Amino acid sequence: MAIVTLPAQNLLADEASPYLQQHSGNPVHWRGWSPASLEEAKALDRPILLSVGYAACHWCHVMAHESFENDDVAAVMNRLFVNIKVDREERPDIDQIYMAALSSMGEQGGWPLTMFLTPDGKPFWGGTYFPREPRYGRPGFIQVMEAVDKAWREKRTSLHQSADGLTSHVEARLSATHSKALLDRDMLSDLAGRVSGMIDRDRGGLAGAPKFPNAPFMQTLWLSWLRDGNAAHRDDVLVSLEHMLSGGIYDHIGGGLSRYSTDAEWLVPHFEKMLYDNAQLIRFCNWALAATGNDLFRVRIEDTVGWLLREMRVEGGAFAASLDADSDGEEGLFYTWSRGEIESVLGDDSTLFFKYFSLSSPPGWEGKPVLHQTLSQQAFGVADRERLVPLKTRLLTVREQRVRPGLDAKTLTDWNGLMIAALAEAGRSLARPDWIEAAAKAFAHIGKAGRDGRLPHSMLGVRKLFPALSSDYAAMTNAAISLFEATEDWSYVEQASQFLGQLDHWHADVEGTGYYLTASDSTDVPIRIRGDVDEAIPSATSQIIEAQVRLASITGNLDLQEKAWKTAEHAAGRAAHQAYGQAGIVNACALALEPLKLVIVDGLEDPKLIPVANRNPDPRRVDIVVPIGTAANRPLLPGGILPPTNRRGAWLCTGQVCLPVVADADELEGLLRRK
């Protein structure tokens, strides 16, 4: 039998990921993750060197430049290993498996992830960034590889044992089945209390550095406020948002939020901008605007959406994954300014500009100063926005002439789903039909890209990566529901049902207790994992529960409601065995316990009740609008009752119980607002 090996060269030029293409010129004989690459390792009886990163990752670039572009390092890699490069955004399933293996070894996770695997894909050792020469107290990368090779030759039996042990451990953690837990109200209050205890009381966010937006935790606090009226938890979120939006982590000239700040002050970010962070920022600002009426949140939504539509739209109207931190090889170069540069652009107006903005260079920061605002500058800046807009526009025009940071133009279905939902929701609240239209266009583009009714996970131009992940179907279901709420177009509800049908077909476990992240016909995953763990976005499992609960609310489908409940109970059972990363599941279980449904009959020409619902968004609620006098009356109230459509009215229902109908706008406002 002939041994099938891939050509001894770098094979990344044909990949559909800009990150993998960035490595196609390396002297390393890289392969993408595929059945053929795994077969090659078995045929050559060599360990696999797996390197996982993503396009906007700073230390990934550093390791690539030091090691993967270096002929001497590449020669060692090519001699001893089968080298596989993975884009974690394209294959979060692979990334999560080996990241869990690294943390099971007691190591701190992060990217680039560098793992050594047996030829059948089982992890036995690894780390994150390794410098080329020994430094930072870390061994040099060539030393590491030679030590791994020596162990592989001399201690293979014990390496296989440790690989088997690690794999079992990861399997128990990421794909286990546990008995279900009863859903109770205390889950949310307990977690919210614990999260609130970790909040930085001065600057918001979690105490310490680096500082991430941490949307799943913020949502826990917000749900605690909406449900239980815990004003301290509301304030935790509002203080976090206000500081985040004044800091250098927010792009004050162009709009949009960076992924995290390296310090405890939200001042100096890693300058990459991710689609998902900005989707979640728009949603949180929308909720905060409704709760406070503070125009800061409106302005930041407008500027962030402005950035999104200007810089992140790709062909067909969907959205790109991320913008890099580096341009011209220097981090933050595109975004930072010296005082002199601003003065030369703005001339006499620079005095006015510096009344509202500060430039700071903290210790250890080597770039140009970072633009930010104090809280009082931020408040004045919002009040005097009209004076500032032309100044910011002049700076933006000059900035556009600089060397741009790299755009990762691939369209990820799940991240797009998050952004489509955020845009549709903000479009309703701020009466921006153009935003709703942009969301609808992106949604249609992704829907049309499917094949045999199945969505792709990722697209780049004509290249598509199938099959989708469970997170893709869940995020697109939630996006469809948000578009339905914004447009009253029932075809979105039908599409949502189709997405959940595909999820059931390809991702459900045989016991009917939940879903796997990867499809049943994915041939190259060593373990099918659940997708229970939050990352910067809520977990796949939590998005599935939310999608099932929301669609069941809209359709009044009791079987789907039962299925959502079952998914939630089993997810809660698994979450009870995990120490962290389960906020998404707890939040989703709170939605399953008390889903809210608002049915409005109103005149579309002169609506009285619809604007009240639009300006009081609530993540727990689905809204259905019916025109007065419609014959096509579809929204079921509990008990299968259709609302009368001959006059204005609004029914707010929790689970199977509705409050008495109200026809007065102020009365509806009272029902929807947390007083």
Whether the ω angle into residue 611 lies within 30 degrees of 0, i.e. cis, is no
The three-class DSSP label of residue 261 is strand
CB 587 within 8 A of CB 188: yes
pLDDT at 3: 59
DSSP state at residue 673: S
Do the beta carbons of residue 41 and residue 76 sit within 8 Å?
Answer: no
What pLDDT is attached to residue 535? 92
Q: What tens digit of pLDDT does each residue of 192-250 get?
A: 999 999 999 999 999 999 999 999 999 999 999 999 999 999 999 999 999 999 999 99
Segment 574-590 mean pLDDT: 91
Residue-level pLDDT at 237: 98
Integer Cα distance of 184 and 612 in angstroms: 31
H helices of 293-330, where?
295-307
Alpha-carbon separation of residue 30 from 14, 43, 64, 386 (angstroms):
12, 17, 12, 52
Confidence of residue 176 (pLDDT cuts 50, 70, 90): confident
Q: How many residues does the chain have?
A: 675
Segment 475-530, tens digit of pLDDT? 999 999 999 999 999 999 999 999 999 999 999 999 999 999 999 999 899 999 99
Q: At what angle do helices 583-593 and 215-228 cross, to 10 degrees?
A: 30
Q: Provide the 10 A C-beta neighbour count for residue 639.
A: 8
129 φ/ψ angles, rounded to the nearest 5 degrees: -80, 130
What gap in Å lies between CA 243 and CA 265, rounded to an integer? 8
* Alpha-carbon gap, residue 52 to 30, rounded angstroms: 12
Q: Cα(378)–Cα(597) distance, rounded to whole angstroms?
A: 36
Model pLDDT, residue 478: 98
Is residue 366 classed as helix, strand or coil in its secondary structure?
A: coil
Residue 656 vs residue 143, higher pLDDT? 143
Q: According to the model, what pLDDT value does residue 581 have? A: 84
Distance CA 603, CA 117 (A): 63
3-state secondary structure (DSSP) of residue 594: coil
Handedness of CA 553, 555, 559, 560 (dihedral sign): negative
pLDDT tens digit string along 164-174?
999 999 999 89
How many whole angstroms separate alpha carbon 88 and alpha carbon 79?
25
Give the model's confidence band at 432: pLDDT under 50 very low, under 70 low, under 90 confident, else very high: very high
Distances (CA, A) of 578 to 169, 174, 217: 13, 10, 16
pLDDT over 90 at 578, yes or no: no
Q: Quote the percentage of the chain above a pLDDT of 90.
A: 92
What is the structure's pLDDT at 675? 55
In angstroms and rounded to an integer, the radius of gyration of the C-alpha atoms of the chain is 26
Q: Tens of pLDDT along 527-572?
A: 999 999 999 999 999 999 999 999 999 999 999 999 999 999 999 9
Contact assessment for residue 54 and residue 60, using Cβ atoms and an 8 Å cutoff: yes
111-149 pLDDT, tens digit per residue, is: 999 999 999 999 999 999 999 999 878 889 999 999 999
pTM to 2 decimals? Answer: 0.96
Q: Are 279 and 418 in contact (CB under 8 A)?
A: yes
**pLDDT 10s digits, 259-313:** 999 999 999 998 999 999 999 999 999 999 999 999 999 999 999 999 999 999 9
- Banded model confidence at residue 372, pLDDT cuts 50, 70, 90: very high
74-114 pLDDT, tens digit each: 999 999 999 999 999 999 999 999 999 999 999 999 999 99
Helix, strand, coil percentages (3-state) for the chain, rounded to 5, are 50, 15, 40
**Coil, strand or helix: which one is 127?**
strand
According to DSSP, residue 33 is labeled: S
Average pLDDT (592-613) is 97
Question: Amino acid letter at 142?
Answer: I
Q: How confident is the model at residue 674 (pLDDT cuts 50, 70, 90)?
A: confident
Tokens 């009752």 map to which residue?
641
Is the distance from CB of 442 to CB of 367 less than 8 angstroms? no
Contacts of 20 (CB under 8 A, 6+ apart): 12, 30, 32, 85, 87, 90
Measured CA to CA, the distance from residue 459 to residue 444 in angstroms comes to 14
Q: What is the average pLDDT value for the chain, to the nearest integer? A: 96
Among residues 334, 314, 342, 203, the alpha carbon closest in space to that of 271 is found at: 334
Report the alpha-carbon distance of residue 367 to residue 369 in Å, rounded: 6
pLDDT in tens, 354-364: 999 999 998 88
Q: Which domains does the chain have, with CATH numbers?
A: 12-174 (3.40.30.10), 596-672 (no CATH)
Percentage of the residues of the chain whose pLDDT score is greater than 70: 99
Using a 10 angstrom Cβ sphere, with 0-12 exposed, 13-18 middle and 19 or more buried, the burial of residue 430 is middle
Residue 128: name the closest of 105, 109, 106 by CA.
109
- ∠ CA 201-205-206, nearest 5°, is 85
Residue 1 confidence (pLDDT) above 80: no
Q: What is the pLDDT of residue 58?
A: 86
